[in-house]
Amino acid sequence: MARNKQFKGAFTIADLAMLKAVFPLGRHQQGPTGDVFSVSFEHAGLPWLIVARQLDGRYVSIDPVTGARIARPALSDLLLRGGAEWRPKHGSSRVSGVELPT
């Protein structure tokens, strides 16, 4: 699929800049059904946070542990508190991006 400005499942440049500012070591991946940005503990096998952009243009944050999903029309609606509520409350504060299982 050719990616272009009309593809609503793609993060914008501003989206990626905002995500990288909040989660500097997060990882961006492009897929046929939308973009995904994942954040994990360093050397962890699974991410502790996933932010995705759906084909309808909505942004979704997913907690892979609990399965909790929050969908909003704007990325800033998910990042209102600067990502503070997403930061892990235990373990290492260092995070890195990981490849999602397929």
Residue 72 lies in a domain: yes
Write the DSSP string, 13-72: HHHHHHHHHHSTT-EEEEETTEEEEEEEETT-SS-SEEEEE-TTS-EEEE-TTT--EEEE
State pLDDT tens for residues 28-62.
Answer: 999 888 899 998 877 777 888 899 999 899 999 98
Is 1 inside any structural domain? no
Coil, helix or strand for 84? helix
Q: How many domains does the chain have?
A: 1
Question: Domain for residue 7, yes or no?
Answer: no
Which range of residues forms the domain containing residue 45? 13-96
- Cα distances from 74 to residues 42, 58, 81, 94, in angstroms, run 28, 7, 14, 27
Q: pTM higher than 0.95, yes or no?
A: no
Q: Which two tokens stand for residue 45?
A: 């096998």
81 domain residue, yes or no: yes
- pLDDT of 34 reads 87
Reported as a single tens digit per residue, the pLDDT across 61-95 is 988 888 889 999 999 888 754 444 444 444 444 33
Instruction: Tell me whether residue 102 is in a domain.
Output: no
